[in-house]
Amino acid sequence: MSRAATPSPDEFAMIAKSRAEQALQRYGALGDHWSIDPPTLTAAADVAVDAAIGLEASLKCIADQHGCRAPDDGPRAVFRALWKSGRLPPAITNAGDAYLESLRVLFDARNAYLHGGLPSVDPLELLGAVKDALQVHLALAQANSLLRSQWPDIDDALWRFGGQPRHFAAQVRRLLSGKRFDGLRLYGEVARFTGGSALRISGALEAVVDVEQTRWVWSGSAGSILDLIPTAKAEVGMITPPNSDEMKLAPGERVSEGTLQIRVRDLPVRADGFVEESNPLAVPVYLLPDERRAWMVGPGDLSLAWLLAEVPYRVRMKWFVTPDGRLEAVGELLQSESQGKLTGELRFHHPGHRGYPAFRGAAQIEGTTSGVFPGVQVAEWRHVRWDPETGVVRSWSWEGVSRLSARWKMTAHIAFDEVEVFD
């Protein structure tokens, strides 16, 4: 049987460019947050096949131009031959042993996958090898004229894959590391209504998330649902309804004071505004070295790791039995000058390589909250037994809060810790 013809260096260059582009596209499609949503081994192996074929073609393209490989040499042998003959770029040569280990992982995975099996390797370890392979390929394409002829925008591609993250991280460290911003204005609003609920935080930070109203504690505290439901992002306590002794007679009325608790965790937020003068968190960070080019607002992807707001309130509470046999308590929020406490942690990162943040950091939040603006809460009880003539309520069961509308202001002081940079 005749042996298949060996591709020419020109043909190797075309194969290398095509497969490397496919690997970069698939690599990018895997998303940014691998710690939360890690790729499957099958998805990692799909990317590895393209990366391995592209890198092998680029290595053989260079080796055949300089006559430094035997016909049966595998990709790692070709890499060693190019390394030994000084044909690799200095950045690759200086980390040659590490790249050889990545090539071992990459090509072992490719061989297993192409023979109908999954490789015996962690998907994140395999994608680390893919990242190294793409770095090697881009460096080779930049240094070799034949590979470069297939990739006219190779300088920009290499910058975005390797240089841009370090550039971006250095700016964030210079602008934010160790700094404190005082007196940032935040605004909060919670609404519960038939069929849903919503919490809004706006101002220097802005977020929107669904809220679950706590239903089984008669106080302004929050947190019980967060302990039971890991996917819940926020919870709002209720305005304390009348106590049991008070509700034994209906109708009734009183004015009281309390504290409304709001707890938030792992809530994506963004720095609102577009100029540093109006919001120091919205400082422009340039994606490319030229300040006339694209830039983004703030220190990358932001999330409230946790936030606890304690909002004092003053309320006029009225309770009565409705014609259809419900015991209802309507709380009308009154203007209050009291102040509450605000604490939390803001986390941020920017993915330089997909799944590998170029930097990450945290900022501590402290501050105060104002009392709530005028609003309302409606709480209901069902299965009410009462004497219509005397107004005495004999029994009832707690149904929950059917409506809540509250707004308040917050003043935040945000102190950034040291920014951790990944090369």
Q: What is the pLDDT of residues 307-330, one digit of tens each?
A: 999 999 999 999 999 999 999 999
Phi, psi of 98 (to 5 degrees): -65, -40
Q: Which two tokens stand for residue 197?
A: 């609920």
Instruction: Check: CB of residue 272 under 8 Å from CB of residue 245.
Output: no
Percent of the chain exceeding pLDDT 90 equals 55
What per-residue confidence (pLDDT) applies to 32? 63
Phi, psi of 275 (to 5 degrees): -130, 145
| Residue 393 reports pLDDT greater than 70 | yes
CB neighbours of 332 closer than 8 A, spacing ≥ 6? 315, 316, 317, 318, 374, 376
What per-residue confidence (pLDDT) applies to 136? 94
Confidence of residue 158 (pLDDT cuts 50, 70, 90): confident
What per-residue confidence (pLDDT) applies to 1? 45
What per-residue confidence (pLDDT) applies to 141? 94
Phi, psi of 326 (to 5 degrees): -100, 145
Query: For the chain, which domains are there?
Result: 9-152 (1.20.120), 172-421 (no CATH)
| Least confident span in 69-78, 290-299, 393-402 | 290-299
- The Cα 330–Cα 239 span in angstroms is 10
| Least confident span in 13-17, 137-141, 169-173, 277-281 | 277-281
Tell me what the mean pLDDT of segment 285-311 comes to. Answer: 83
267 φ/ψ sector (left φ>0, alpha ψ -120 to 50, else beta): beta
Tell me what the mean pLDDT of segment 179-183 comes to. Answer: 92
Q: Which two tokens stand for residue 252?
A: 């009734």
Cis peptide before 388 (omega within 30 of 0): no
Angle at 26 between CA 158 and CA 130, to 5 degrees: 60
Helix (H, G, I), strand (E, B) or coil at 238: coil
Tell me the pTM: 0.73
Which comes out higher in pLDDT, residue 160 or 78? 78
Which comes out higher in pLDDT, residue 353 or 235? 235
Instruction: Check: CB of residue 343 under 8 Å from CB of residue 307.
Output: yes
What per-residue confidence (pLDDT) applies to 62? 95
Average pLDDT over all residues of the chain: 88
pLDDT digits (tens, 9 = 90+) for 224-275: 777 788 888 888 988 988 888 888 999 999 999 999 999 999 999 988 755 5
Helix (H, G, I), strand (E, B) or coil at 93: helix
What per-residue confidence (pLDDT) applies to 77? 95
Percent of the chain exceeding pLDDT 70 equals 93
